Amino acid sequence: MFLLVLTYSKPLEEVEPLMAAHMAWVDAQYQNGTFLASGRRVPRTGGIILARATDLGSLEALAATDPFLEAGVAQYDIIEFTLSRTALGFESLLS
């Protein structure tokens, strides 16, 4: 399991024009089963994504295709962890 921490490296005025392309990219990752949950950081300095992938390298390669990264307006910190417990209703994440 992976936690992707997205941090904007440019002002929101440079990020906003790329939001539709970024969200289309995010939607595609939900459709292929990679992304499990996501949302904006508060304050709005980036976002957080919970993802499932086979290995760190493949997730790093996928993150590099995010329009935000391609345009140089954000960066990802990717944290790998072993999921060992969940709240009721989220047990499917353990498999």
Separation of alpha carbons 91 and 70, rounded Å: 35
Question: What integer is the mean pLDDT of 63-71?
Answer: 98
**Does residue 88 belong to any structural domain of this protein?**
no
Within-domain flag for 71: yes
Q: Which residue shows structure tokens 């329009």?
A: 67
Q: What is the mean pLDDT of residues 12-38?
A: 97
The overall average pLDDT reported for the chain is 96
What is the average pLDDT across 13-26?
98
> Looking at 4-13, 18-27, 67-76, 82-91, which range is the least confident one?
82-91
Residue 93 inside a domain? The answer is: no
For residues 54-83, average pLDDT: 97
* Structural domain contains residue 74: yes
Of 90, 95, 79, 12, the closest CA to residue 46 belongs to 12
More confident of the two residues 22 and 92: 22
Is residue 55 in some structural domain?
yes
pTM: 0.93
* Number of domains observed in the structure of the chain: 1
Would residue 20 count as lying in a domain?
yes
Q: Is residue 90 part of a domain?
A: no
8: domain CATH number?
3.30.70.1060
Position 95 in a domain = no
Q: What range defines the domain where residue 43 resides?
A: 2-83
